[in-house]
Amino acid sequence: MTVDEQVVGYLNYLVKTYNGYTKLIAQTQQRLLTIPGEKRGKDFDSTLKGEDDQDGLNTIKGRLTRAIEKELPQFEVWERWLKSIPGIGPMIAAKLIISFKYRFYPICKECGGKQEKVEKSFVCLDCGKKASGEGLLEYRMEEKDFPTISKWWKYMGRHTVNGIMPKREKGVKADWSTEKRTLGFMIGDQFNRQKDDHPYKKFLLERKGKHAKNHPDWSLGHIQNAAKNEAVKLFLSHFWTVARIIDGKPISEPYAGVIMGHTDIIKPFYWKEEKRKEEKKKKRQRDSETIYEIHG
């Protein structure tokens, strides 16, 4: 199913606006803590909620979340899979969908060329005209494609260099997204909060136990973070697989199971359609065996 560009653009607007309010709330909290004396942090709740609880920052964030949830049914990966996974709410799902499928880049109002950010301004690569103020820019949308799981992991900041996830270096442009890595941390935290029978939480606990056994020199924090990272990578590989199946794109065998020490490929949890496909295949095999027995 091809989603209308206006629908995608509106979802992207909602996500960016939500992120903007989240940042504003964090800044408000920090400012309130700098107030000296008795008023230090005293009016935090009233500042965020508003006197009538209608125009506060947290209230607006709630409205944005509900607006995002109303848009998500137009995206098949949400309807057919993501909404069934405890811990993957509308906000995380929307960010994943936008990150995986769509790219928005600013265009020059004069010539329509692509603009690139230089310091605090945007400069057209074709005519050289400058534009300042991100909110005043016009954007063009194009679809992304991650042909392999490893490319998807790298974009999300989940790849490793010499066994560890790379950090940003001053003066060096990273080829991965800090914002997307943060999204991965959010997903890991959500899985960690689930009950122990939640499949991704169960996988996290298994990895945690294995690391504790194989690396007695690791701290508890190191063990926990390593296990959460592997659970996130497993989920991202499942997202890659399901999204490409839905889009009718070719998929390679997910090797997450192999590199994580499993002999069998771990297929996407909660993907009922894959389960139905396997059941139909087994039924065809049983039927063919029955026919062979009768006529053989």
| Domain layout of the chain by residue ranges | 1-104, 146-296
Q: What does the pLDDT look like over 154-197, one tens digit per residue?
A: 999 988 777 777 787 777 777 778 889 999 999 999 999 999 99
Count Cβ neighbours within 10 Å for each residue of 42-77 and write b for 16 or more, e otherwise.
Answer: eeeeebbeeeeeeebbeebbeebbebbbebbeebbb
Q: Exposed/middle/buried for 149, CB within 10 Å: 0-12, 13-18, 19+?
A: buried
Each residue's pLDDT tens digit, 79-104: 999 999 999 999 999 999 999 999 88
Question: Would you say residue 27 has pLDDT above 50?
Answer: yes
Among 269, 209, 259, which residue's Cα sits nearest to residue 238? 269
Q: State yes or no: pLDDT of 136 exceeds 70.
A: no
Mean pLDDT of 251-264: 56
> Interior CA angle at 98 toward 184 and 95, to 5°?
40
Say which residue the tokens 């995986």 belong to.
100
Please state the rounded mean pLDDT for residues 67-85.
95
What's the whole-number mean pLDDT along residues 218-224?
93
Per-residue confidence (pLDDT) for residue 282, from 0 to 100: 57
CA distance 194 to 14: 27
Map tokens 């653009």 to a residue. 9
Whether pLDDT at 50 is above 60? no
Confidence at residue 172, expressed as pLDDT on a 0 to 100 scale = 72
